[in-house]
Structure 1
């Protein structure tokens, strides 16, 4: 799932003519490598064109503005994370304790597997009204997943469970950021997050 940490150079895939969906995917992958290797500040449409081995008009055709590029990259990384989380949580009929541990480990694993790119892109979009809308859309999707996973094991009212899951998502993202920045170990983050998830799952009406 994670993009290899290598520089992308122009080759037949980058310099040749690709169908539009494939070209867009290639540009997003290249943009992600730029953020990882050089930082989000270096991600411009012009620099993306150079790294991807295409002309500048090609990048403008797909994203129009730098903000548009950042938003699409932000959405793509998070969608990838959500898909991986759903895959890891696909097993049904887990006991409550196993569900709590699996959710904690899966969410943190999917977040840390992205490296620090997601947080870096989010920081680059800070203050953007467009980013705020996209961010809330992504957060709501994750909250819905948490509710779906925990609802069979929780006696909390649905409305309260959704609020609690919103707090869990924020905590999970904060712990993911702490791990990727070396502030705590994966084991420490998992222990803390599973405790929080367990408290929500065992909540009373």
Structure 2
């Protein structure tokens, strides 16, 4: 992938067209601009990576600790698997209204899925489950960012997220 090899600054519609073996007008007609290309790339990376996460979340382990480990392993692996490309594309688009909206939408989807997957292990009221999932998704984002920057190993980030999930859903 060009982003992995050369970074986002070299990602232009002309270069993408050249590598794809199409003319520049085809690339411009399809993406409109470099930001359009980056938005499409951002969404494609997220869609590919989140499929594995959502598959892991659909499984029904018998206990909270197993569910937490399955979810945290999948979440961190999704980030590790992109080798930082997703973060690089997101960084290149910082301030773009479309990507900001898309990012909020994606995070909201993660919150909903965390709530569905983890709420079954708790007797907490739905609003409390949702708020805790907002915090867990924020923690997952922070841990994965630190992992991608080299601050944590994938196993360390995953274990930390699993511990946070279990702590968040213990009955209180």
TM bucket, shorter chain = over 0.9
CA drift at 1:118? 0.7
The residue that corresponds to 1:71 in the other structure is 39
Q: Is the 8 A contact 2:65 2:162 kept in 1?
A: no
Give the structure 2 partner of residue 136 of structure 1. 104
What corresponds to 2:52 in structure 1? 84
* Cα separation, 2, equivalents of 1:160 and 1:105: 24
Number of aligned residue pairs? 172
Inter-partner Cα distance in structure 1 for 2:171 and 2:84: 33
1:13 — aligned with what? none
TM-score by length of 2: 0.93
Aligned to 1:169, the other structure's residue is in SS state helix
Deviations 1:32-75 (A, max 9, x none): x1111100111111111122221101111211111111111111
* Structure 1 residue runs without a partner (length 5+): 1-32
**1:156 aligned residue:** 124
What CA RMSD, in Å, does the superposition of the two structures yield over aligned residues?
1.4
Q: Which runs of 5+ in 2 are unaligned?
A: none
In the superposition, the TM-score normalised over structure 1's length comes to 0.79
The 8 Å contact of residues 168 and 197 in structure 1, kept in 2 or not, is answered as yes
CA contact (8 A) 1:49 1:58 kept: yes
Greater relative contact order (Cα < 8 A, sep 6+): 2
Name the structure 2 match of 1:7.
none
CA apart distance, 1:93: 4.5
Secondary structure, in 3 states, of the residue corresponding to 1:153? coil
Q: How far apart, in 2, do the equivalents of 1:42 and 1:156 lie?
A: 49
Q: Distance in 1 between the 2:62 and 2:26 partners? A: 48
Alignment map for 1:1-205 (pairs within 5 Å): 33-204=1-172
